[in-house]
Structure 1
Amino acid sequence: MKAIILFGHGARDARWREPFDRLADLWKAQYPNTPVELAFLEMMAPSLEEAVGSLASKGAAQISVVSVFFGQGGHLCNDFPVLLQACQAKYPQIALSATTAVGEDLAVLQAIVDFAARAL
């Protein structure tokens, strides 16, 4: 089974998580046969390891981690690879892969331009 993790930074304010919950809900509505979990780098749960463990317990054999960050900064370049490697070591039976930051994708950038244009 294939699965996806939407990975974000995390924040102290619980309201910050709300768009991530909506994003996961959109995924579930559009791809009901592909499990999704949220995971956060810090300050929020679940952690990446907890999300991988949850999906592993549901039978996931392949997990794609989507980095819901605007750019490839220090967290994605330095912290994230260490976390991903630790998950791979703990769950060697699972094929883990990761995307670049969503903000690096032209379609995402275009969606932001379209959003901004609607504000005019």
Structure 2
Amino acid sequence: MTTGLILFAHGARDPRWAGPFEAVAAQVRARAPAAAVRLAYLEFMAPTLPEAGAELAAAGCTEVAVLPLFLGAGGHVRKDLPLLMDGLRSAHPGVQFTLHPAVGEIDSVVAAMAGVALQVMAPGGPAR
């Protein structure tokens, strides 16, 4: 296995908060079974980004995409995450870690959220 993906989220004290992120990871794994997919959290939950990166490096991944599951690029994405990425690259020089934009800034995600917003205005509300 040479390709990996880290879905990076903020984390929360309430473990139920992670449910939607676990669902995203499960769907990615189902659609790309050959890829190594890990969730990682900035705080309150495990694994951390360094821990997830180490797992993927140990699994033989040579390329790892890091996708922030944040709606926007606030302080954590603009300031904390680049420092964490530098740490990953230093700790695992044989692995190419690529940081992608916050998921909420990707056009298709914005369009999906707008679609849900329109659904809630329709009779019957959003489809699950």
TM-score when normalising by structure 1: 0.98
Residue type of the alignment partner of 2:16: R
User: What is the alpha-carbon distance in structure 2 between the residues aligned to residue 9 and residue 39 of structure 1?
Assistant: 8
Q: Would you say how many aligned residue pairs link Structure 1 and Structure 2? A: 120
The residue aligned with 1:13 is: 14
The residue aligned with 2:124 is: none
User: What is the alpha-carbon distance in structure 2 between the residues aligned to residue 13 and residue 99 of structure 1?
Assistant: 27
Q: Secondary structure at the match of 1:38?
A: strand
Residue ranges of structure 2 left out of the alignment (5+ in a row): 122-128
Residue 117 of structure 1 deviates from its aligned partner by 1.3
Q: Indicate the RMSD between aligned Cα atoms, in angstroms.
A: 0.6
The residue aligned with 1:81 is: 82
The residue aligned with 1:48 is: 49
Q: Secondary structure at the match of 2:12?
A: coil
The residue aligned with 2:95 is: 94
Identity across the alignment (%): 38
User: What is the alpha-carbon distance in structure 2 between the residues aligned to residue 100 and residue 21 of structure 1?
Assistant: 20
Task: Give runs of ≥4 in structure 1 deviating > 2 Å.
Answer: none
The residue aligned with 1:32 is: 33
Larger radius of gyration: 2
Residue 118 of structure 1 deviates from its aligned partner by 1.3
Residue ranges of structure 1 left out of the alignment (5+ in a row): none
